[in-house]
Amino acid sequence: MISPAQTAAVARWLDHARAIDGVAENTIKAYQADVLAFLSFLTIHHGDSQGIAPLTRLTVTDMRSWMAHERGRGVGARSLARMLSAVKSFFRWLSDREDFDASVVIMTRAPRFQKKLPRPLAQEAARAVITQVEVQATEPWVAARDVAVITLLYGCGLRISEALGLTGRDVPLGSSLRIVGKGGKERLVPVLDRARDAVADYIRLMPYELDRDQPLFRGVRGGGLSPAIVQKTMAAVRMQLGLPATATPHALRHSFATHLLNAGGDLRAIQELLGHASLTTTQMYTSVDTARLMEVYRDAHPRAKGGA
């Protein structure tokens, strides 16, 4: 059983992550599960309840034993890397407060795994998705709703949570939209005329009152639209168009980024539009052919342009 001192430390760390770092609640829950699982292993591994002091004296053997234990339970490399990331985050916070060297934990290498690169849709497929969404709903206002949501995902690069987080105060849409993304970070996203018109059509047909604080997108019973409904809609579109299973709502966001980059968009500008904290993430979320990459290289690299 995890000691009360360790449990309290985890709770304080999560409060800090939630309040100071703005970590999303789903991530908080994942952090909690991963770190408590690690502490539970240590308790069993050492044979008794552990306080804070033993955490300051962890060894390389402890870390290797934990990772071997998790792999033995069938935990994949990707999941173990995620768990290790949470453990490292906790120990960085704890070492600052308890004044100890946490390098044994922090320097532990994550297992290697093949990253699954997102697969954007071709431009023709993305347009076909919007067209198909419009004709497959039985009620006109539901069709208009689905078109508006899908158009925002592809035309503005929004996450599902961001599109469904819009309220009555966000409409009518202007030339740009202020989005609060992961970690509470705000960004301004340009709104295409087609997206603005799609949302306006939906509002005109929607049978419910739209107050400023209520969700913009509604389910058929009037409550906020569930992400599962958007995913179900996209699944039906995939079947109708013969698209692969990778054609998900989130793939539309990847498509937005990739098509902008292919059209000559600046990678850092696209990073800001997507709300990515790291340019590396944006690079992973975009797909561009080798010829386009070489063109970007020649335009941007000092040596390629004749500089020193």
**Looking at residue 204, which CATH number applies to its domain?**
1.10.443.10
For the segment 50-66, the average pLDDT, to the nearest whole number, is 91
pLDDT at 202: 96
Average pLDDT over residues 12-38: 88
266 versus 140: which is more confidently predicted? 140
In a domain, 162, yes or no: yes
Cα–Cα distance for residue pair 26/16, rounded to 1 Å:
15
Inside any domain, residue 172:
yes
pLDDT over threshold 70, residue 79:
yes
What's the count of helices (H) and strands (E) in the chain, helices before strands? 14, 2
* Residue found by looking up tokens 């400023």 in the block: 212
Q: Tell me the average pLDDT of the chain.
A: 84
Report the pLDDT value the prediction gives residue 290, as an integer from 0 to 100. 47
pLDDT band at 136 (very low <50, low <70, confident <90, very high): confident
Asked if residue 199 lies in contact with residue 177, where contact means CB atoms within 8 angstroms, the answer is no
Q: What pLDDT sits at residue 114?
A: 58
Q: What percent of the chain has pLDDT over 90?
A: 44
Q: Which contacts (CB < 8 Å, 24+ apart) does range 150-154 have?
A: 150/230, 150/233, 150/234, 150/249, 150/252, 151/194, 151/195, 151/198, 151/199, 152/195, 152/198, 152/199, 153/249, 153/252, 153/253, 153/256, 154/126, 154/129, 154/130, 154/252, 154/253, 154/255, 154/256
Which active-site residues does the annotation give? 159, 182, 250, 253, 276, 285
Instruction: Judge whether 230 lies within some domain.
Output: yes
Q: How far is CA 208 from CA 160, 163, 198, 270, in A?
A: 21, 18, 17, 35
CB 292 within 8 A of CB 262: yes
- What's residue 140's pLDDT? 94
Is the pLDDT at 308 greater than 50, yes or no? no
Q: Would you place residue 245 in the very low, low, confident or very high pLDDT band (cuts 50, 70, 90)?
A: confident
Q: Is the pLDDT of residue 221 over 80?
A: yes
Does any domain span residue 305?
A: no
For the cut 50, the answer to whether the pLDDT of residue 307 exceeds it is: no
Alpha carbon distance 26, 14 (integer Å): 12
Which residues fall within 8 angstroms of residue 271, CB to CB, at 6 or more apart?
A: 279, 281, 282
Residues near 239 by Cβ (< 8 Å), separated by ≥ 6?
Answer: none
Q: Which residues form the domain of 66?
A: 4-106
Q: Are residues 144 and 260 in the same domain?
A: yes
What is the model's pLDDT at position 25?
83
The answer to whether residue 166 is domain-embedded is: yes
What pTM did the predictor assign? 0.57
Place 227 in a pLDDT band, splitting at 50, 70 and 90.
very high
Does the structure show a pLDDT above 70 at 110?
yes
Examine the domain organization and report whether 190 and 141 are in the same domain. yes
Does the pLDDT value for residue 280 go beyond 80?
Answer: no
In a domain, 142, yes or no: yes
d(CA 11, CA 113) in angstroms, rounded, equals 30
User: pLDDT tier at 270 (50, 70, 90 boundaries)?
Assistant: low
- In a domain, residue 302? The reply is no
User: What region, left, alpha or beta, does residue 120 occupy, with left being phi > 0 and alpha being psi -120 to 50 degrees?
Assistant: beta
| 272 vs 231, more confident | 231
